[in-house]
Amino acid sequence: MRHPAAFLLLLVCSALPNGFDCCRADEPVPSIQFSEHLIADKYAYAYGIAAADFDGDGDLDLTSADYTPHNMLYLFENDGQAAFKRHIIQKDDPERLERHLVGDVDGDGDLDVVIVKNLRGDLLWFENNGKPTDETLWSRHVITTDLPGAYDVALADFDRDGDLDVAASSWVLGNQFAWFENDGSPAEGEWKKRIIEQDILETRTMRAADFDGDGDMDLLGTARQAPAVLWYENHKEAGEVHWTKHVIDDQSPCPAHGNPADMDGDGDMDVVMALGFYYRPESDDGKASTKRQDNKILWYENNPAVHGPWKQHVIGAEFDDAFEAIAGDLDGDGDIDVAATSWRNPGSVAWFENLGDSKKPWKRHMLKENWRSANQVILADINGDGRLDIAACAEHGSYEFRWWRNEGRKPKAD
């Protein structure tokens, strides 16, 4: 592959005031069904998942990170029917292997993994040798050891030279966004680091998309404590990549994780986002969200004619401890729905049904409740039936990786 992996589309959910969801009064909308399945449990800490066809057999395999004391990166080989065999990509890599993305880093036609090593400050990539399930560890390569608190990654050809570069965030230990140039020899030493922005408090989301429609890849970033939802415009000057910062939202407390998605079908990239993590009602913790109304899933409307903050559309109100949102057409009706996680109050997975107009109220469907520390969520057709399924992991208190099979619409009553 010579192109970045397809972006996970994220979607936010809108609801009526006071947190009540609705259907159209004139036309009840049948809900699709999901069945829940455990992929793996007994993690030390489950955070960081992805889906891709690593072995080239036409179905989607899964990866999942597990940190100290396990210190593993797993590959779950899909047999085509969503039964999984676990393999080990990496072991004995201390501290926090976490969020990661998939792409052909070395241009050899198979899919590699780019991953953060949180706290230690490393960005790594693991090389797929073309036989990813042969029970040998993948070759480990260092992109950088200079990203304190390395937290999230984006893959794209930012300099348009034909190979995949990496951008990353750095949590509270680094408080920066940076990008790293792939010079065409990605296995030969550390990559050149360039700062995008520094001294911005608690950087989290890092995703790539063409927000201005000019053909190159821009960046989406969040800084939870700043607070800020931002996009960075990619432009070249004298052959060098430069970044111009634009504010999407600098007023909403505690933005956590979101993704680019064309939420209104107008041809440009909007953003879905989870706001409110972490939620500590009645607390005097200045780092926390304290008001329930600040916890929500929403989407920001990209309107090139309007400068300044982007217009908000609420998808799901009072979604406590909202952590991550992702978008895709779950019910096959041609519009974009959203799946989201809430973290610890009490921890849950939900999907939000777009009833035909993304700017009007959405319908909330809970998939799993009381799933403590639910965090990353992805959408993928895991069993190859043409429907998007949902997968998510949960760390302290749950220690699991699960998926929800999309069973389609409920049979109509006779």
Determine, yes or no, domain membership for 360: yes
Does 376 reside within a domain? yes
Residue 75, pLDDT above cutoff 70: yes
136 occurs within a structural domain: no
135 in a structural domain: no
Q: Give the chain's domain count.
A: 1
pTM beyond 0.85: yes
Q: Over the stretch 90-139, which tens digit does the pLDDT of each residue have?
A: 999 998 999 999 999 999 999 999 999 999 899 999 999 999 999 999 99
Tell me the pLDDT band of 191, cut-offs 50, 70 and 90. Answer: very high
Mean of all residue pLDDT scores within the chain = 92
Q: Name the least confident of 58-62, 307-311, 381-385.
A: 307-311
Structural tokens at position 400: 């699991």
pLDDT level of residue 413 (50, 70, 90 thresholds):
low
**Cα–Cα nearest to 234, from 252, 250, 246:** 246
Question: How far is Cα of residue 69 from the mean position of the Cα atoms in its chain?
Answer: 25
Closest among 317, 313, 341, 337 to 327, alpha carbons compared: 337
Proportion of the chain above pLDDT 90, given as a percent: 86
Q: Please indicate, yes or no, if residue 155 is contained in any of the structural domains.
A: no
With respect to residue 277, please indicate whether it lies within any of the assigned structural domains.
yes
Structural domain of residue 310, as residue ranges?
Answer: 252-413
* In contact, 347 and 374? CB cutoff 8 Å: yes
Cα 384 to Cα 81, 354, 378: the distances in Å are 8, 23, 15
What confidence tens digit (pLDDT) does each residue in 252-299 have? 999 999 999 999 999 999 999 999 999 999 889 989 999 999 999 999
Residue 93 lies in a domain: no
Residue 294 φ then ψ, to 5°: -85, -10
Q: CB atoms < 10 A from the CB of 318, how many?
A: 18
Buried-exposed string 323-357: b where 16+ CB fall within 10 A, e elsewhere: bbbbbbbbbeeebbbbbbbbbbbebbbbbbbbbee
Percent of the chain with pLDDT over 70: 92
Cα–Cα dist 108/44, whole Å: 33
**Does a structural domain hold residue 353?**
yes
